[in-house]
C-alpha cells in the first residue's frame, strides 16, 4: 500500500480526542477536548493576542495536573494526611554544555523545572516518597520516553 492510501484509510478511522483549529493567519487556536473548549495563543510581544496560554504553558499544565492528581491518588490509597498540592513549573531552552547531569552535551535542550508544595502533616519519609511518586505520573513518563508522532494529510 502506498503512503497516500495508508493516510487516507487511517484518517477515516481516527477518532481524535483533541481537535485544534486555527485561521491560518493569527496564532490564536481553538481547542476542543471532549466537551471542553480552550484557546491557545502567543503573547502580544511574540505576535499573538494573548487570548490564551501558550502551547508550552499547556504542556506544563498537563504535567502539573497529572503530577497533582497522581500524588493525591497515592496519598489517598495510603491514607496519608495530604491536604493539598501546588505544582509550579517552568520551561526553558538550555545549552546542553551547561547541563552537568545531562547525557547530551551538544545543542539546545528543553528543561522543565517542577517545584512541589505539599500541605498537611506529612512525615519526612512520606514527603520523600511523594517526590519519588511525582516522577512516575503518566505525563512525566511520556515526556521522558521516546515519543513517535505520525502525521498525514487528509
Let me know whether 40 and 87 are in one domain.
no
Q: Distance between CA atoms of 67 and 11, rounded to whole angstroms?
A: 32
Please give the model's pTM, rounded to 2 decimal places.
0.84
Give yes or no for a contact between 106 and 97, defined as CB atoms under 8 angstroms apart. yes
More confident residue, 8 or 147: 147
Length of the chain: 154
Let me know whether 61 and 123 are in one domain.
yes
- What pLDDT was estimated at residue 153? 92
List the one residue out of 56, 51, 61 whose CA is nearest residue 26. 51
Let me know whether 83 and 124 are in one domain.
yes
Q: Note the pLDDT tens digit of each residue in 91-150.
A: 998 877 676 666 666 678 899 999 999 999 999 999 999 999 999 999 999 999 999 999
Q: Distance between CA atoms of 138 and 122, rounded to whole angstroms?
A: 24
Q: Is the pLDDT confidence value at 73 over 60?
A: yes
Let me know whether 88 and 107 are in one domain.
yes
Q: Is the pLDDT confidence value at 13 over 80?
A: no
- What pLDDT was estimated at residue 104? 67
DSSP lists the bridge partners of residue 146 as none
Let me know whether 67 and 41 are in one domain.
no
Q: Distance between CA atoms of 130 and 61, rounded to whole angstroms?
A: 19
Task: Give Cα separations from 75 to 61, 67, 68, 118, 126 (angstroms).
Answer: 21, 12, 11, 11, 9
What is the total count of domains within the chain?
2
**What range does the domain containing 40 cover?**
3-46
The distance from CA 138 to its chain's CA centroid, rounded to whole angstroms, is 10
> CATH number, domain at 67?
3.30.300.20
- What pLDDT was estimated at residue 100? 66
Let me know whether 11 and 74 are in one domain.
no
Let me know whether 139 and 72 are in one domain.
yes
- 1 band by pLDDT with thresholds 50, 70 and 90: very low
- Confirm whether 30 is domain-assigned: yes
More confident residue, 83 or 8: 83
- Confirm whether 102 is domain-assigned: yes
The distance from CA 83 to its chain's CA centroid, rounded to whole angstroms, is 24
Q: What is the mean pLDDT of residues 11-37?
A: 88
Alpha helices in the chain (DSSP H): 3-13, 55-78, 124-134, 138-144
DSSP lists the bridge partners of residue 109 as 94
Q: Note the pLDDT tens digit of each residue in 26-71.
A: 999 999 999 999 999 999 999 999 999 999 999 999 999 999 999 9
- Confirm whether 121 is domain-assigned: yes
- Confirm whether 154 is domain-assigned: no
- Confirm whether 150 is domain-assigned: no
Amino acid at each position: 500500500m502506498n503512503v497516500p492510501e495508508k493516510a487516507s484509510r487511517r484518517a477515516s478511522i481516527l477518532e481524535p480526542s483533541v481537535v485544534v483549529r486555527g485561521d491560518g493567519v493569527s496564532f490564536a487556536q481553538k481547542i476542543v477536548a471532549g466537551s471542553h473548549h480552550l484557546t491557545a495563543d502567543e503573547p502580544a510581544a511574540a505576535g499573538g493576542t494573548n487570548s490564551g496560554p501558550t502551547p508550552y504553558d499547556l504542556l506544563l499544565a498537563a504535567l502539573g495536573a497529572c503530577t497533582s492528581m497522581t500524588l493525591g491518588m497515592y496519598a489517598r490509597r495510603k491514607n496519608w494526611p495530604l491536604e493539598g498540592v501546588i505544582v509550579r513549573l517552568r520551561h526553558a531552552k538550555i545549552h546542553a554544555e551547561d547541563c552537568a547531569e545531562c547525557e547530551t552535551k551538544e545543542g539546545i535542550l528543553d528543561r522543565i523545572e517542577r517545584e512541589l508544595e505539599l500541605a498537611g502533616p506529612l512525615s519526612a519519609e512520606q514527603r520523600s516518597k511523594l517526590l519519588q511518586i511525582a516522577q512516575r505520573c503518566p505525563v512525566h513518563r511520556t515526556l521522558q520516553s521516546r515519543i513517535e508522532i505520525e502525521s498525514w494529510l487528509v
